[in-house]
Amino acid sequence: MTDMRLDAPEPPALIAIQQRTGLADEMWREIAPLLADEGITEDSDPTDLPTLQAALDRAVARYNAALFTPTGKARGQAAELLRQVVASVAAGETVHAARLLDSLGPDPTDAQPVTGAHAAGLAMLLLDTWSTGPASVPAGLLTGTALPAGHWRGERAATDILALARKGRAHRSVQKLIVQHGGHHVTDGAALALAATVLTWAKRTSTPAADIAETAIG
């Protein structure tokens, strides 16, 4: 049985490359226009490796930023899933929270239109926004937020995400987070960091965490 809570500290992520048929071609088609913006085309000098690598790095960063920025219907669906995850963690229903996160894949499906990138990206966008101190958010909310006691899935990534969000830089650092922790850990960590922040908000304002999640996550 999977659970967000762990009996021991989460081990470091073993970053593995998952092979998906057609992934390289699919990604190249999406990155090619970004490379073109950098002046890199099929006719570019293949021996100028430093320039090509720098352009590729920037294109991949832009690709991931777009992937982790849900808009429209995707954002609404991701918000609803995150509200459920946060409410489940707040209620101690951590097995249900884990099942919700485990339902997320790299691509939308009819059964689950929300992807791991959608959920993680929205969580980090919200944390970055809350760190700037909008009027509706308690002052210093992120500064006073710590992960719930015990051990958790995604706790290593969540620690880094909270540290970056306090500077308003979690979402823009998604590429670095993926390299350090792997995609699944970033999704778990972003959801955990969001839940921890809502729990802190709830404690400060004596408001049920589920109510805050309902109104603040969107």
pLDDT one-digit tens code per residue, 186-209: 999 999 999 999 999 999 999 999
pLDDT band at residue 18 using 50, 70 and 90 as cut-offs = very low
Reading the block at residue 175, the tokens are 């590429």
CA distances from 28 to 24, 33, 61, 206 (A): 6, 9, 13, 50
Task: Choose the final residue of a domain: 31, 49, 67.
Answer: 67
Q: Which residues contact 201 (CB under 8 A, 6 or more apart)?
A: 137, 138, 141, 207, 209, 212, 216
Q: How many domains does the chain have?
A: 2
pTM for the whole structure: 0.82
3-state SS class at 111: coil
Query: Do 132 and 201 fall within a single domain?
Result: yes
Residue 195 lies in a domain: yes
The reply to whether 36 and 114 lie within a common domain is: no
Residues 80 and 57 in one domain: no
Residue 162 within a domain: yes
- Residue 18 in any domain: the answer is no
Same domain, yes or no: 105 and 192: yes
Tell me, yes or no, whether 13 lies in a domain. Answer: no
Q: Is residue 9 part of a domain?
A: no
| Same domain (yes/no): 114, 176 | yes
**164 lies in which domain range?**
71-216
Nearest one of 97, 197, 205 to 147, comparing CA atoms: 197
Q: Looking at residue 79, what is its pLDDT?
A: 97
Strand segments, DSSP code E, in the chain are 5-6, 151-152
Q: Collapsing DSSP states into helix, strand and coil, what is residue 152?
A: strand
In terms of domains, do 94 and 167 share one? yes
- 139, 59: one domain: no
15 assigned to some structural domain: no
Number of H helices, E strands in the chain: 9, 2
Shared domain check, 86 and 187: yes
37 & 80 share domain: no
Residue 51 within any structural domain of the chain: yes
Section 50-72 average pLDDT:
75
Q: Are residues 39 and 90 in the same domain?
A: no
User: How far apart, in whole angstroms, are the C-alpha atoms of residue 68 and residue 115?
Assistant: 9
89 pLDDT tier (thresholds 50, 70, 90):
very high
CA 202 to CA 208: how far, in whole Å?
6
- Are residues 191 and 99 both part of a single domain? yes
Residue 3 domain flag: no
Q: What token pair was written down for 205? A: 């304002």
